[in-house]
Amino acid sequence: MYGCPDLIRFCGPFFFDHRTGRTGGTRRRPGLRFSFDRFAVKIENMIKEGWEAVIGMEIHAQLATETKIFCGCAVETGGEPNSHTCPVCLGLPGALPVLNSRVIDLGARAALALGLEIQETSVFSRKNYFYPDLPKGYQISQYDKPFSADGVLNILTAERDDSGHAVDWRPMAIGIERMHLEEDAGKNIHEGMPDTDKYSYVDLNRAGTPLGEIVTKPDFRTSWQAYDYVNHVRRALQWVGASDADMEKGNLRCEANVSVRRVGETKFNNKVELKNLNSVRFMQKAIEFEIERQIAAHEAGEPVNQETRLWDEKNNVTRVMRSKEDAHDYRYFPEPDLQPLEVSAEFIKRVKSEMPELPDAMRERFSAEYDLSFADASQLVTEKSLAEFYERTAKASGDPRVSANYILSELLRELNAAGKTAAESPVSPEGLGELIKTLGAGKINNNQAKEVLTEMFASGKTAAEVISEKGFEQISDVAAIEKIVADVIAANEGQVAAYRGGNEKLFGFFVGQVMKASQGKANPKVVNEVLKAKLG
């Protein structure tokens, strides 16, 4: 339905570069991308006919609060180990948790951005397990009464062709079971410290960091659908300011539950939980590998165990980590130190009123209001700062379509080459708007405008400054052009007679002479008009 007309756009509405953490067109650097995609597509094509994959996703997103969920310790990465801790997040006896209200605000924003219903009452529960990075012996999470539930999220997804191009973007509704709120655990450190051959270390700075855990229904059938979904969620959370959602920094982590079955079957076979997926790419590759492994096992009559497997990125395989726990292994029970969380209709109304316009709504508005194609509008809403940049440029220039063209081709190329986002662009939307206005007024031509933009980007100068430095100003003044035309006619009597005698091909000769006499600065449109009038 929605083709991708060129390299920039093929990246599609939800492109995200896992290496740089940026959305936008960085993927146009072909090397890495293509080798990666080919690998994945090759595997995907090997999926045996008659089988289908059943995939559900779990995403842990760190909510962008300044302090932890149940105490006042700062949420910061990189500090001295165990420096951001207190009796609450260390789990010392007698310490009582107090819910951080900012978590509710950001959780509500996230829930609304993902199409979830916020529940009037939700309950925090203890999830009991032992692990050295969890000193309390339980994690405060939510179980049977989550913060939000029953969502339907409309994403766009595309199959990829043999060379890794996204083709045929189309909408897909994903059922979101729930998003609950919980605290993160600390970290066990097994390397980079003294004697790590003998000891492991525990850093509890991360313990108590607020998370939203987003769980989908098993609605995905291909790894690319899961890939497009994760990118959609990433962008949505960043868009509303609920989470930085940066996988490289670990503040967005995803897990995939994968099983396979014969087409037409309705029951689910044993599923495998995939972890250690450090990028959306690795996740996609891990799912592909797992689908193939499970089909081969089923066909050989071998068991597929319910277990957790890790992605081994060196060898491109998944490996068993442990057998999977069931919910009853955790012995959930309501957290006695916290009240049930009540959320009023007024609160939800207030959060809704503070939400920015969401990307899908913005894409539709751009198409309607500015007459942009689906592909262009989609590309402009890949990132909030890009969408805002566009809208300011469109207003400043008065020409929304030319603004879209210049941003999607010229500006994005400069931004990608410089590794910058639209928010970091050295050319402001108003500066670009001025350039587009100058172009629209016929003072410079298209090629000159592109050259001016490159120079503005490199030097930070205004369009007017660069145009005057380069001597690009077009002569559009009719009187000035009439004078040049008169000189050209006087100097070429023979050609004038021939033209008037019927040799119309000579018109181009006169245009060339006038352009030459004006050192290329005469506005060609005005030159044509004046010449036609004078030559008769």
What is the binding site for Zn ion (CB under 5 A)? 71, 73, 86, 88-89
The CA distance from 290 to 316, in Å, is 11
The CA-based dihedral angle spanning residues 264, 266, 272, 273, taken in that order and rounded to the nearest 10 degrees: 120
Q: Which residues pair with 307 in a beta bridge?
A: 272, 323
Chain Cα centroid distance, residue 379: 10
Give whichever of 98 and 320 is closer to Zn ion, judged by the CB atom. Answer: 98
Which value, in Å, is the radius of gyration of the alpha carbons in the chain?
30
Token pair recorded at residue 181: 């709120």
User: CB of 81: closest distance to Zn ion in angstroms?
Assistant: 14
If the CB atoms of residues 86 and 535 are measured against Zn ion, the closer one turns out to be 86
Cβ proximity to Zn ion: between 73 and 380 the closer is: 73
Q: How far apart are the two ends of the chain, measured CA to CA in Å?
A: 52
Q: What's the rounded Cα separation, in Å, for the pair 236 and 249? A: 18
- What's the distance, CA 177 to chain centroid? 23
Given the complex with Zn ion, which of 204 and 396 has the nearer CB atom?
Answer: 204
CB of 70 to Zn ion, least distance (A): 8
Q: Residue 246 Cβ, how far from Zn ion at the closest point, in Å? A: 23
* Least distance CB 204 / Zn ion (angstroms): 9
Q: 91 or 520: whose CB is closer to Zn ion?
A: 91
User: Residue 129 CB, nearest distance to Zn ion (Å)?
Assistant: 20
Shorter beta-carbon distance to Zn ion: residue 64 or 172: 64
Residue 12: CB minimum distance to Zn ion, A: 42
Q: Residue 351 Cβ, how far from Zn ion at the closest point, in Å?
A: 26
What is the number of other CB atoms lying within 10 angstroms of the CB of residue 248? 12
Least distance in angstroms from the C-beta of 107 to Zn ion: 19
Pairing of the two strands 272-277 and 307-312:
parallel
Minimal distance, residue 146 CB to Zn ion, in Å: 24
Q: Is the Cβ–Cβ distance between 15 and 24 less than 8 Å?
A: yes
| Residue of 122, 83, 87, 78 whose CA lies nearest to 103 | 122
The DSSP 8-state label assigned to residue 271 in this structure reads -
Q: Which is nearer to Zn ion, 88 or 387 (CB)?
A: 88
Helix (H) or strand (E) holding 211: strand 210-216
Q: How far is the CB of 172 from Zn ion (least distance, A)?
A: 41
Provide CB contacts within 8 A for 505, sequence distance 6+.
none
Q: 360: Cβ–Cβ under 8 A, 6 or more apart, which residues?
A: 154, 381
Q: Are 340 and 181 in contact (CB under 8 A)?
A: no
Would you tell me how many other CB atoms lie within 10 Å of the CB of residue 18? 17
3-state secondary structure of 309: strand
When the beta carbons of 62 and 308 are compared against Zn ion, the nearer one is 62
- Report the interhelical angle of 359-370 vs 223-239 (nearest 10°): 80
